[in-house]
């Protein structure tokens, strides 16, 4: 029996937590496409799920080699979205973490932070240029002509989305700082 | 920076790297390394697959370990420590012995 859940997450770590809560209830993710999760019934807590951002798309030779390596160590590749992969391991195999030391954790968090920052800056750049064009085009004879304001509104919208990406990156940056601090005294 | 200069500047190895190098005194594939480290450390060290993958690639680049020529039919990549890798391990053991000796001398053993 398949269950389809439509849900959106901003924060991949919350998403990961949710997938593991679903797994604890006996619903294991088998496929993901944009905001659409497909689950199948399994014994409770059969799998532990992890979400990872790869350096390249999963179809890239380096990603293929990496995924093959994961599979050789008992990890199952479940699904992917852009550069994100969804992987799982049998919970009976013990603790499942992709990264076990500060350096590799920092490296992954930095990759995620770069993604959100890139999206943030491109939203800001396009948004602000739309706002500037919009302000120049404002029809002073008919201020309520909304069609003429489309640049302005889409610009404001993009800037707001950019701010959301900023907020999304902020806890990641905090975690990077914390790990770097810990690294001073322990590995 | 030349290669030799780089080698003399190696600081403490991470626990993961030290155990990976030790594991590869006999040829092993990735999953074997993870299991071996878990056993060696009495389940204390659980190496993440992503961490291991990154470490293997760095160690290959530095020539501390090498990829074995695979026999036909075997799917998994096997690795083995190189002579350079062994000398790194020896140097690390020397460093650890110094730490241990001083630790015992000043703070007493772990059970005192």
A32-50 per-position pLDDT tens digit: 999 999 999 999 999 999 9
Q: Which of A101, A102, A184, A186 to mutate to test the interface with B (most CBs of B within 10 A)?
A: A101
CA separation for the pair A70, A67 (Å, rounded) = 5
Interface contact B60, partner A, CB < 8 A = no
A79 and A143 co-located in one domain: no
Determine, for residues B29 and A101 on separate chains, whether the beta-carbon distance falls below 8 Å: no
A77 and A127 co-located in one domain: no
Among A95, A99, A187, select the one facing B15 at the smallest CB separation.
A187
A79-137 per-position pLDDT tens digit: 999 999 999 999 998 889 999 999 999 999 999 999 999 999 999 999 999 999 888 87
A49 and A77 co-located in one domain: yes
Which value, in Å, is the radius of gyration of the alpha carbons in chain B? 16
Cα–Cα separations (whole angstroms), residue A186 to A103, A180, B53:
11, 10, 22
* Residues from chain A contacting residue B30 (CB–CB below 8 Å): 69, 72-73
C-alpha distance from B74 to closest chain A C-alpha (Å): 12
* Residues from chain B contacting residue A104 (CB–CB below 8 Å): 48, 50-51, 54
A132 and A86 co-located in one domain: no
Last residue of a domain, which of A70, A93, A116? A93
C-alpha distance from B109 to closest chain A C-alpha (Å): 21
A10-30 per-position pLDDT tens digit: 899 999 999 999 999 999 999
Among A73, A95, A101, select the one facing B30 at the smallest CB separation.
A73
A8 and A63 co-located in one domain: yes
The pLDDT value given to residue A150 = 85
Among B16, B29, B54, select the one facing A72 at the smallest CB separation.
B29
Among A75, A94, A101, select the one facing B14 at the smallest CB separation.
A101
User: What band does A7 get if pLDDT is binned at 50, 70 and 90?
Assistant: very high
Last residue of a domain, which of A93, A127, A146? A93
A73-82 average pLDDT score: 95
Give the structural domain span for A74.
Answer: 2-93
Last residue of a domain, which of A67, A93, A119? A93
Q: Half-sphere exposure (CA, 13 Å, Cβ side) for A17?
A: 6
The pLDDT value given to residue B76 = 80
C-alpha distance from B48 to closest chain A C-alpha (Å): 4
- Domains annotated on chain B, with CATH: 3-107 (1.10.10.10)
A88 and A121 co-located in one domain: no
**Nearest to residue B18, comparing CAs of B63, B69, B81, B74?**
B81
User: How many independent structural domains does chain A possess?
Assistant: 2
A114 and A163 co-located in one domain: yes
DSSP tag of A187: -
DSSP tag of B71: P
pLDDT for A162 beyond 90: yes
Q: Residue-wise over A37-47: b if at least 16 C-beta within 10 A, else e? A: bbbeeeeeebb
B18-40 per-position pLDDT tens digit: 999 999 999 999 999 999 999 99
pLDDT for B3 beyond 50: no
Hey, which residues 23-42 in chain B have their CB within 8 Å of chain A?
A: 29-31, 34
Tokens 């160690």 appear where?
A: B59
Residue A11, phi then psi, degrees to nearest 5: -100, 115
The pLDDT value given to residue A165 = 95
Q: Residue-wise over B40-50: b if at least 16 C-beta within 10 A, else e? A: eeeeebebbbb
Residue B32's SS3 state is: helix
Could you report the predicted ipTM of this complex, rounded to two decimals?
Answer: 0.86
Determine, for residues A107 and B54 on separate chains, whether the beta-carbon distance falls below 8 Å: yes
Contact of B16 with B54, CB cutoff 8 Å = no
A115 and A172 co-located in one domain: yes
Q: What share of chain B in percent tops pLDDT 90?
A: 76
């Amino acid at each position: 029996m398949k269950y389809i859940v439509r849900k959106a997450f901003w924060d991949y770590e919350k998403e990961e937590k949710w997938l593991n809560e679903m797994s604890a209830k006996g619903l294991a993710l088998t496929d993901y496409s944009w905001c659409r999760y497909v689950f199948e019934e399994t014994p409770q807590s059969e799998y532990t799920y992890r979400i990872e951002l790869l350096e390249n798309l999963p179809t890239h030779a380096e990603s293929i080699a990496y995924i093959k390596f994961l599979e050789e160590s008992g990890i199952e590749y479940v699904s992917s979205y852009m550069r994100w992969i969804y992987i799982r391991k049998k919970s009976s195999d013990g603790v499942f973490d992709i990264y076990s030391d500060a350096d590799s954790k920092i490296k992954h968090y930095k990759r995620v932070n770069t993604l959100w920052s890139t999206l943030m800056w491109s939203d800001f750049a396009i948004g602000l240029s739309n706002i500037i064009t919009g302000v120049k085009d404002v029809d002073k004879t008919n201020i309520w002509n909304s069609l003429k304001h489309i640049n302005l509104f889409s610009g404001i919208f993009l800037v707001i989305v950019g701010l959301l990406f900023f907020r999304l990156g902020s806890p990641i940056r905090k975690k990077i700082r914390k790990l770097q601090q810990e690294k001073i005294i322990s590995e | 920076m030349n290669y030799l200069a780089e080698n003399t500047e190696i600081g403490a190895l991470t626990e993961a790297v030290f155990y990976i190098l030790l594991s590869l005194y006999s040829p092993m594939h990735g999953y074997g390394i993870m299991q071996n480290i878990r056993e060696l450390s009495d389940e204390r060290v659980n190496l993440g697959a992503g961490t291991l993958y990154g470490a293997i690639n760095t160690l290959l680049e530095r020539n501390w370990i090498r990829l074995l020529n695979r026999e036909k039919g075997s799917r998994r990549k096997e690795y083995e420590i190189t002579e350079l890798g062994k000398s790194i391990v020896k140097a690390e053991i020397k460093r650890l012995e110094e730490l241990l000796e001083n630790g015992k001398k000043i703070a007493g053993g772990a059970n005192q």
